[in-house]
C-alpha cells in the first residue's frame, strides 16, 4: 500500500476553481431549491459547461482527465455547499459513466460516454427494485432474449436523476436461477424508448434538489449494442460503479462535514451567553475538537482510496483479484465511516447552533436532513459492514 499525500498545483487550482464556482453559483440558490423541491436545472447546466460532469474521464473520451482524486476534490467542494448537487454529479459520474468507461466497447464509448462526459447528456443508474434493495442480486426485471437483442420488462425504483436523465444504466435479470453469479445483465437505455416511462417521484426528507424516480419498463426492445460488458456479468458492472460511488459519496460527506465545522466555529465565536462567547466553554470546545478530528481522519481516507483507484486504472481486466477485493473493502470502509461521521458532525453542529440550527432553511438544518441518506444509499451501512467483515474473515486481517 503506497502512501503519498499531496495535491499537485493543477489539483489545487481545480479545487480553488470549484470552490469559487460553488460559492458563486450554487450557494445562493440552494435555499430556494430545497424549499421548492426542484431539480436545479440552471446550475446543473452551468456545471456541465464547466466540464464537471466528466471530471475523472480521460480527455480522449470528452472528460477533464483529472482522475478519481480530481473527482473527489470536485465532490468535496460541491458537497461543502450542497448535497443535492453532489448527488446529481455522483449518480451521473460514478454510476453512469463508470460502466461505460470500464465496460463499454469503442462504439459505446463514442456514442454514449463522450457526450455524457462532455456534459451534453445526463445519466442515471437503476439497480433497486421494490423487492430487491440490499439483496440487489435478487432483482426481477426480466431481460429476455429476442432475436439478436433483448426485451426488458419490470419496475425499478429510487432512481436518482431518473426524471431528468437522457440515458439510464439498467440492471436486469437474464436468468433468475443464476442470480448475481451469471444471471444479471447491464443495459444502457434511452429515455423515450418505446415502453420506457417514468413513474412516481418520491417526496423525501432531504436531497430536495434530486429526483428519486420509478422507472417502468414495458417490453422495451434493446439491441445487443446496449449491453454493457458480457451478458450475465452485469453484477460486476454494478459493483465496479458502486466502488467508485462509495468513495465519491464519502468525498461529498467530507465537504458537508468541513462546512458544518467551519460554520460551528464561526457561530461559537460570535454567539454570547452568560457574558462569554460560547466558544470559551469547554463543552463546546470539545465538540469542535471531536468534529475536527473526524474531518481530519476522513480527508486522508477519502484521498487515499481515490488515489488507489487511480493507481488501478479503469480497466477491470487489468485488476488482480486481491486489488479488486482491496478496492471494494476500502470503498465500503470509507463510505460507512464518512456517512456516520457526517451524521455525527452535523448533529453536533446543529447542537452548537442551538435553536437557530433547528429552524427551517438554515444551512445546518438542511445539511442535517441531507446527510442521513448517505447511511442508506449506495448500499446500507449494514451491507458495508458485511463487505468488510467477509474480506476480513477471509484474509484474517
Ligand atoms: C434518495 C434515494 C436515492 C437512491 N438512488 C438510487 C439510485 O440512483 N439507483 C439505485 O439503484 N438505487 C437507489 N437508491 C436505493 C438504495 O440504494 C436502497 O434504498 C438501499 O440499497 C437499501 O435498500 P432497501 O431500501 O430496499 O432496504 P432493505 O434492503 O430492505 O433494507 C432494510 C434494512 O435491512 C437491513 N438489511 C438488509 N439485509 C441485511 C443483511 N443481510 N444483514 C443485515 N442487515 C440487512 C438494511 O441494512 C436496512 O437497515 C436510492 C434510495 C434513496 C432513498
Residue 32 has pLDDT above 90, yes or no: yes
Q: Is the dihedral of CA 67, 68, 69, 75 positive or negative?
A: positive
71-85 tens-digit pLDDT: 999 999 999 999 999
Q: What is the mean pLDDT of the chain?
A: 97
- How far is the C-alpha of 165 from the C-alpha of 301, rounded, in Å? 31
Please state the atom number of ligand 1 nearest to the C-alpha of residue 204: 1
Ligand 1 centre to CA of 149 (Å) is: 30
- How far is the C-alpha of 173 from the C-alpha of 240, rounded, in Å? 18
H or E element, residue 117 = helix 114-117
- How far is the C-alpha of 67 from the C-alpha of 389, rounded, in Å? 29
**Which residues are annotated as catalytic?**
378
The per-residue pLDDT for 5 is: 78
Average pLDDT estimate for 340-363:
97
Domain boundaries, the chain: 9-122, 124-228, 234-395
Of all residues in the chain, the percent with pLDDT exceeding 70 is 99
Q: Helix or strand or coil: residue 154?
A: strand
Q: Helix or strand or coil: residue 24?
A: helix
Ligand 1, atom 38, lies closest to the CA of 134
Q: Which CATH architecture has domain 234-395?
A: Up-down Bundle (1.20)
- How far is the C-alpha of 371 from the C-alpha of 87, rounded, in Å? 11
116-173 tens-digit pLDDT: 999 999 999 999 999 999 999 999 999 999 999 999 999 999 999 999 999 999 999 9
Average pLDDT estimate for 31-45:
98
The per-residue pLDDT for 4 is: 74
Please state the atom number of ligand 1 nearest to the C-alpha of residue 134: 29
380-394 tens-digit pLDDT: 999 999 999 999 999
Ligand 1 centre to CA of 30 (Å) is: 26
Please state the atom number of ligand 1 nearest to the C-alpha of residue 381: 47
SS3 content of the chain, % helix, strand, coil (to 5): 60, 15, 25
The per-residue pLDDT for 118 is: 98
Ligand 1 centre to CA of 134 (Å) is: 5
Average pLDDT estimate for 356-367:
97
Residue 313 has pLDDT above 90, yes or no: yes
Ligand 1 centre to CA of 383 (Å) is: 9
8 Å CB contact between 107 and 98:
no
pLDDT band for position 186 (cuts 50, 70, 90): very high
Q: How crowded is residue 149: how many other Cβ atoms within 10 Å of its Cβ?
A: 17
Superfamily of domain 9-122: Acyl-CoA dehydrogenase/oxidase, N-terminal domain (1.10.540.10)
Average pLDDT estimate for 61-78:
98
Residue 26 has pLDDT above 70, yes or no: yes
Ligand 1, atom 43, lies closest to the CA of 382
Q: Which class is 124-228 in CATH?
A: mainly beta
Q: Helix or strand or coil: residue 143?
A: strand
Please state the atom number of ligand 1 nearest to the C-alpha of residue 127: 11
Ligand 1, atom 14, lies closest to the CA of 158
pLDDT band for position 2 (cuts 50, 70, 90): low
Residues with CB under 6 A from ligand 1: 91, 125-128, 133-134, 158-160, 204, 207, 212, 373, 376-380, 382-383
8 Å CB contact between 160 and 170:
no
213-227 tens-digit pLDDT: 999 999 999 999 999
Q: Is the dihedral of CA 198, 204, 208, 210 positive or negative?
A: negative
258-276 tens-digit pLDDT: 999 999 999 999 999 999 9
Ligand 1, atom 32, lies closest to the CA of 134
The per-residue pLDDT for 192 is: 93
Amino acid at each position: 500500500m503506497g502512501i503519498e499525500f499531496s495535491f499537485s498545483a493543477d489539483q489545487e487550482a481545480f479545487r480553488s476553481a470549484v470552490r469559487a464556482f460553488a460559492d458563486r453559483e450554487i450557494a445562493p440558490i440552494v435555499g430556494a431549491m430545497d424549499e421548492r423541491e426542484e431539480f436545479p436545472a440552471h446550475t446543473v447546466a452551468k456545471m456541465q459547461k464547466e466540464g464537471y460532469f466528466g471530471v475523472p474521464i480521460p480527455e480522449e473520451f470528452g472528460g477533464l482527465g483529472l482522475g478519481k482524486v480530481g473527482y473527489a476534490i470536485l465532490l468535496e467542494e460541491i458537497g461543502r455547499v450542497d448535497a443535492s448537487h453532489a448527488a446529481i454529479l455522483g449518480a451521473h459520474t460514478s454510476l453512469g459513466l463508470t460502466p461505460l468507461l470500464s465496460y463499454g466497447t469503442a462504439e459505446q464509448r463514442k456514442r454514449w460516454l463522450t457526450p455524457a462526459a462532455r456534459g451534453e447528456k445526463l445519466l442515471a443508474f437503476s439497480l433497486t427494485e421494490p423487492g430487491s434493495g440490499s439483496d440487489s442480486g435478487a432483482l426481477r426485471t426480466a431481460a429476455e432474449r429476442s432475436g439478436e437483442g433483448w426485451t426488458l420488462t419490470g419496475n425499478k425504483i429510487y432512481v436518482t436523476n431518473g426524471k431528468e436523465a437522457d440515458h439510464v444504466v439498467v440492471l436486469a435479470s437474464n436468468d433468475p436461477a443464476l442470480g448475481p453469479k451469471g444471471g444479471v445483465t447491464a443495459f444502457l437505455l434511452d429515455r423515450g424508448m418505446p415502453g420506457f416511462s417514468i413513474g412516481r417521484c418520491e417526496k423525501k426528507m432531504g436531497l430536495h434538489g434530486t429526483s428519486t424516480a420509478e422507472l417502468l419498463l414495458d417490453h422495451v426492445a434493446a439491441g445487443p449494442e446496449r449491453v454493457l460488458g458480457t451478458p450475465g456479468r452485469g453484477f460486476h458492472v454494478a459493483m465496479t460503479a458502486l466502488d467508485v460511488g462509495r468513495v465519491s459519496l464519502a468525498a461529498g460527506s467530507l465537504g458537508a462535514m468541513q462546512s458544518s465545522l467551519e460554520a460551528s466555529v464561526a457561530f461559537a465565536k460570535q454567539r454570547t451567553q452568560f457574558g462569554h462567547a460560547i466558544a470559551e466553554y469547554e463543552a463546546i470546545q470539545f465538540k469542535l475538537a471531536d468534529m475536527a478530528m473526524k474531518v481530519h481522519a476522513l480527508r486522508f481516507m477519502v484521498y487515499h482510496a481515490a488515489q488507489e483507484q487511480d493507481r488501478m486504472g479503469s480497466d477491470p481486466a487489468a485488476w488482480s483479484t486481491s486489488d479488486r477485493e482491496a478496492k471494494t473493502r476500502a470503498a465500503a470502509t470509507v463510505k460507512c465511516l464518512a456517512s456516520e461521521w457526517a451524521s455525527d458532525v452535523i448533529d453536533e453542529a446543529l447542537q452548537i447552533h442551538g435553536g437557530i440550527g433547528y429552524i427551517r432553511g438554515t444551512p445546518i438544518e438542511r445539511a442535517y436532513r441531507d446527510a442521513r441518506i448517505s447511511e442508506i444509499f449506495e448500499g446500507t451501512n449494514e451491507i458495508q459492514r458485511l463487505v468488510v467483515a467477509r474480506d476480513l474473515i477471509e484474509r484474517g486481517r
